[in-house]
């Protein structure tokens, strides 16, 4: 994801050809090659990019040479839509219990940071016919954890397994959970 975002931000720098080497950027213009520290938060005119995560799909905007919304020519806004596949994924998994797929009822909860230092959760329920399989959609990329509650979360919970920590770094991330005692 970092490399893709670096590429996107490099493409946004329309005033000069640029390529990134770690945290260093070499730009080529009429005065030759220059090396400087990379600042991927600003566009070619030194203005912060505008990231709109509420848009569907999310957008990254450079306000152009005039640094204000709108404009024409070099002053026109440059808007990049970031496909949801680049920032979220579907997580599919199987829960194994003592060497066989889980065959009971359970709640699978995925935990992710909410940006304020707390966690937010998304859940899905499993029934005996699922053969231990579960799917969670629209999971933001990053390090996540899964907790399994049998048969339900909260009152009536007989057993909790996890959290199991794993990376979500691409769509259709596969997770195998080796639980015991469910």
Confidence of residue 21 (pLDDT cuts 50, 70, 90): very low
How many C-beta neighbours within 10 Å does residue 24 have?
11
3-class SS of residue 22: coil
The tens digit of pLDDT for each residue in 80-124 reads: 998 888 888 999 999 988 888 988 899 999 998 887 888 889 999
Q: Residue 135 pLDDT > 70, yes or no? A: yes
Domains in the chain (CATH in brackets) are 2-83 (no CATH), 87-179 (2.60.40.10)
Indicate if the pLDDT at residue 9 is higher than 50. no
The Cα angle at residue 54 between residues 147 and 142, in degrees rounded to 5: 35
């Amino acid at each position: 994801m970092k490399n893709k975002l670096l590429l996107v931000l490099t493409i946004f720098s329309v005033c000069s050809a640029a390529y990134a080497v770690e945290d260093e950027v070499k730009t080529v213009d009429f005065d030759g090659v220059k090396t400087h520290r990379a600042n991927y938060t600003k566009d070619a005119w030194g203005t912060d990019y505008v990231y709109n995560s509420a848009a569907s799909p999310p957008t990254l905007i450079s306000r152009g040479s005039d640094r204000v919304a709108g404009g024409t020519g070099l002053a026109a806004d440059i808007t990049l839509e970031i496909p949801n596949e680049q920032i979220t994924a579907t997580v599919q998994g199987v829960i194994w219990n003592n060497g066989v797929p889980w065959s009971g009822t359970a709640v699978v909860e995925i935990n992710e940071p909410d940006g304020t230092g707390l966690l937010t959760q998304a859940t899905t329920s499993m029934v005996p016919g699922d053969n231990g399989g579960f799917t969670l959609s629209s999971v933001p990329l990053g390090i996540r954890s899964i907790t399994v509650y049998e048969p339900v979360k909260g009152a009536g919970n007989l057993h909790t397994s996890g959290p199991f920590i794993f990376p979500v770094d691409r769509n259709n991330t596969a997770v195998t959970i080796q639980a015991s005692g469910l």
